[in-house]
Amino acid sequence: MAERTEISTYGEFGLIRHLTRNIEFQNASSILGVGDDAAVIDHLGRQTVITTDLLIEGVHFDLMYTPLKHLGYKSVVVNLSDVYAMNATPTQITLSIGISNRFSVEALEEFYEGVYAACDRYGVDLIGGDTSSSQKGFIISVTAIGEIQPDKVVKRSGAQKGDLLCCSGDLGAAYLGLVFLEREKKIYLENPNIQPDLEGEDYVIRRLLKPEARKDIIEFFEQQNILPTSMMDISDGLSSEILHICSQSGVSAVIHEDKLPISEASRLAAYKFELDPTALALSGGEDYELLFTLKQDDYEKITLNEQISVIGYITDASLKPMIVTKGGNKHEITAQGWNAFKTT
Amino acid sequence: MAERTEISTYGEFGLIRHLTRNIEFQNASSILGVGDDAAVIDHLGRQTVITTDLLIEGVHFDLMYTPLKHLGYKSVVVNLSDVYAMNATPTQITLSIGISNRFSVEALEEFYEGVYAACDRYGVDLIGGDTSSSQKGFIISVTAIGEIQPDKVVKRSGAQKGDLLCCSGDLGAAYLGLVFLEREKKIYLENPNIQPDLEGEDYVIRRLLKPEARKDIIEFFEQQNILPTSMMDISDGLSSEILHICSQSGVSAVIHEDKLPISEASRLAAYKFELDPTALALSGGEDYELLFTLKQDDYEKITLNEQISVIGYITDASLKPMIVTKGGNKHEITAQGWNAFKTT
Q: What is the CATH number of the domain that holds A298?
A: 3.90.650.10
A37: nearest CA partner in chain B:
B82
Q: State pLDDT tens for residues A74-96.
A: 999 999 999 999 999 999 999 99
pLDDT at A336: 64
A314 and A204 together in one domain: yes
CA dihedral (A234, A235, A236, A238) in degrees, to 10, reads 20
Any domain includes A158: no
Confidence band (pLDDT; 50, 70, 90) for A191? confident
B78 in A contact zone (CB under 8 Å): no
Q: Inspect the interface and report whether the beta carbons of B146 and A45 lie closer than 8 Å.
A: no
What crossing angle do the helices spanning B105-122 and B11-19 adopt, rounded to 10°? Answer: 40
What is the mean predicted confidence (pLDDT) over A131-152?
90
pLDDT at B95: 92
pLDDT at B193: 84
Q: Inspect the interface and report whether the beta carbons of A83 and B58 lie closer than 8 Å.
A: no
A141 and A36 together in one domain: yes
For residue A265, pLDDT beyond 90:
yes
Chain A residue numbers with beta carbons less than 8 Å from the beta carbon of B51 are 37-39, 94, 128
CA neighbor of A4 nearest in space, from A128, A106, A112: A106
Q: Which of B106, B129, B152 corresponds to the end of one domain?
A: B152
Domain that holds residue B246: 164-343
Chain A residue numbers with beta carbons less than 8 Å from the beta carbon of B155 are 32, 36
Per-residue HEC secondary structure of chain A comes to: CCCCCCHHHCHHHHHHHHHCCCCCCCCCCEEECCCCCCEEECCCCCEEEEEEEEEEECCCECCCCCCHHHHHHHHHHHHHHHHHCCCCEEEEEEEEEEECCCCCHHHHHHHHHHHHHHHHHHCCEEEEEEEEECCCCCEEEEEEEEEECHHHCCCCCCCCCCCEEEEECCCCHHHHHHHHHHHHHHHHHHCCCCCCCCCCCHHHHHHHHCCCCCHHHHHHHHHHCCCCCEEEEECCCHHHHHHHHHHHHCCEEEEEHHHCCCCHHHHHHHHHCCCCHHHHHHHCCCCCEEEEEECHHHHHHHCCCCCEEEEEEEECCCCCCEEECCCCCEEECCCCHHHHHHHC
CA neighbor of B321 nearest in space, from B248, B225, B271, B263: B248
For residue A343, pLDDT beyond 70:
no
Any domain includes B230: yes
From B37, B47, B98, residue closest to A56, measured CB to CB: B98
Residue B222 has φ and ψ, to the nearest 5°, of: -60, -50
Q: Which of A189-198, B78-87, B90-99 bottoms out in mean pLDDT, i.e. has the lowest?
A: A189-198
Mean pLDDT of all residues belonging to chain B: 90
Confidence band (pLDDT; 50, 70, 90) for B336? low
Q: Which of A123, A152, A181 corresponds to the end of one domain?
A: A152
pLDDT at A13: 67
Chain A residue numbers with beta carbons less than 8 Å from the beta carbon of B245 are none
Give how far A98 is from chain B: nearest CA, Å.
7
CA neighbor of B171 nearest in space, from B74, B259, B59, B54: B259
Question: Quick check: A86 and B36 in contact, CB under 8 A?
Answer: yes
Give how far B268 is from chain A: nearest CA, Å.
32
pLDDT at B61: 95
pLDDT at A94: 92
Confidence band (pLDDT; 50, 70, 90) for A58? very high
For residue B316, pLDDT beyond 70:
yes
pLDDT at A10: 76
Mean pLDDT of all residues belonging to chain A: 90
A93: nearest CA partner in chain B:
B50
B133 and B172 together in one domain: no
Distances (CA, A) of A86 to A93, A257, A339, B28, B146: 16, 27, 30, 20, 21
pLDDT at B14: 75
Q: Inspect the interface and report whether the beta carbons of A98 and B59 lie closer than 8 Å.
A: yes
Distance in angstroms (rounded) separating the CA atoms of residues B3 and B124: 30
Q: Inspect the interface and report whether the beta carbons of B53 and A139 lie closer than 8 Å.
A: no
Q: Chain B window 130-189: which residues touch A at a Cβ cutoff of 8 Å?
A: 130, 132-137, 139, 141, 143-146, 148, 150, 153, 155-157
Any domain includes B159: no
Confidence band (pLDDT; 50, 70, 90) for B227? very high
Distance in angstroms (rounded) separating the CA atoms of residues B19 and A332: 29
Give all strands of the β-sheet with B330-332 in edge-to-edge order: B230-234, B289-294, B164-168, B308-315, B252-256, B322-324, B330-332
Q: State pLDDT tens for residues B245-276.
A: 999 999 999 999 999 999 999 999 999 999 99
For residue B76, pLDDT beyond 90:
yes
Question: Quick check: B333 and B321 in contact, CB under 8 A?
Answer: yes
Any domain includes B334: yes
Q: State pLDDT tens for residues B152-203.
A: 999 999 999 999 999 999 999 999 999 999 999 999 899 888 877 777 789 9
pTM of the model: 0.90
What is the mean predicted confidence (pLDDT) over A232-238?
94
Q: What is the ipTM of this complex?
A: 0.88
B203 and B240 together in one domain: yes
B272 and B305 together in one domain: yes
Any domain includes B1: no
Q: What is the CATH number of the domain that holds B95?
A: 3.30.1330.10
Count of structural domains within chain B: 2
Chain B residue numbers with beta carbons less than 8 Å from the beta carbon of A97 are 54
pLDDT at A339: 38
Q: Inspect the interface and report whether the beta carbons of A59 and B129 lie closer than 8 Å.
A: no
Q: Under DSSP, is residue B106 helix (H, G, I), strand (E, B) or coil? A: helix
Distance in angstroms (rounded) separating the CA atoms of residues A96 and B151: 28
Chain B residue numbers with beta carbons less than 8 Å from the beta carbon of A136 are 135-137
For residue A257, pLDDT beyond 80:
yes
B38 in A contact zone (CB under 8 Å): yes
Q: Inspect the interface and report whether the beta carbons of A49 and B39 lie closer than 8 Å.
A: yes
B148 and B170 together in one domain: no
A126 and A214 together in one domain: no
Distance in angstroms (rounded) separating the CA atoms of residues A208 and A203: 9
Chain B residue numbers with beta carbons less than 8 Å from the beta carbon of A53 are 96, 130
Q: Under DSSP, is residue B52 helix (H, G, I), strand (E, B) or coil? A: strand
Any domain includes B2: no
pLDDT at B2: 58
Any domain includes A2: no
B55 and B100 together in one domain: yes
Q: Under DSSP, is residue B43 helix (H, G, I), strand (E, B) or coil? A: coil
Q: Which of A33-37, A170-174, A183-187, A220-224 bottoms out in mean pLDDT, i.e. has the lowest?
A: A33-37
Any domain includes B157: no
Q: Inspect the interface and report whether the beta carbons of B39 and A51 lie closer than 8 Å.
A: yes
B140 and B185 together in one domain: no
For residue B338, pLDDT beyond 70:
no
B40 in A contact zone (CB under 8 Å): yes
B114 and B214 together in one domain: no
B128 in A contact zone (CB under 8 Å): yes
Q: Is the dihedral of CA B313, B317, B319, B322 positive or negative?
A: positive
Q: State pLDDT tens for residues B99-148.
A: 988 888 889 899 999 999 999 999 999 988 888 889 889 999 999 999 88
pLDDT at B12: 65
Q: Inspect the interface and report whether the beta carbons of B96 and A54 lie closer than 8 Å.
A: yes
Question: Quick check: B79 and B118 in contact, CB under 8 A?
Answer: no
What is the mean predicted confidence (pLDDT) over B200-219?
95
Q: Which of A152, A183, A207 corresponds to the end of one domain?
A: A152
Top-confidence residue, B54 or A342? B54
What is the mean predicted confidence (pLDDT) over A114-142?
91
A245: nearest CA partner in chain B:
B36
Confidence band (pLDDT; 50, 70, 90) for A103? confident
B50 and B136 together in one domain: yes
Which of A37, A53, A77, A94 is best to mutate for the B interface (most B CBs within 10 A)? A37
Chain B residue numbers with beta carbons less than 8 Å from the beta carbon of A130 are 52-54
Q: Which of A126-135, A141-150, A265-274 bottoms out in mean pLDDT, i.e. has the lowest?
A: A126-135
What is the mean predicted confidence (pLDDT) over A125-136?
87
A147 and A206 together in one domain: no
Confidence band (pLDDT; 50, 70, 90) for A340? very low
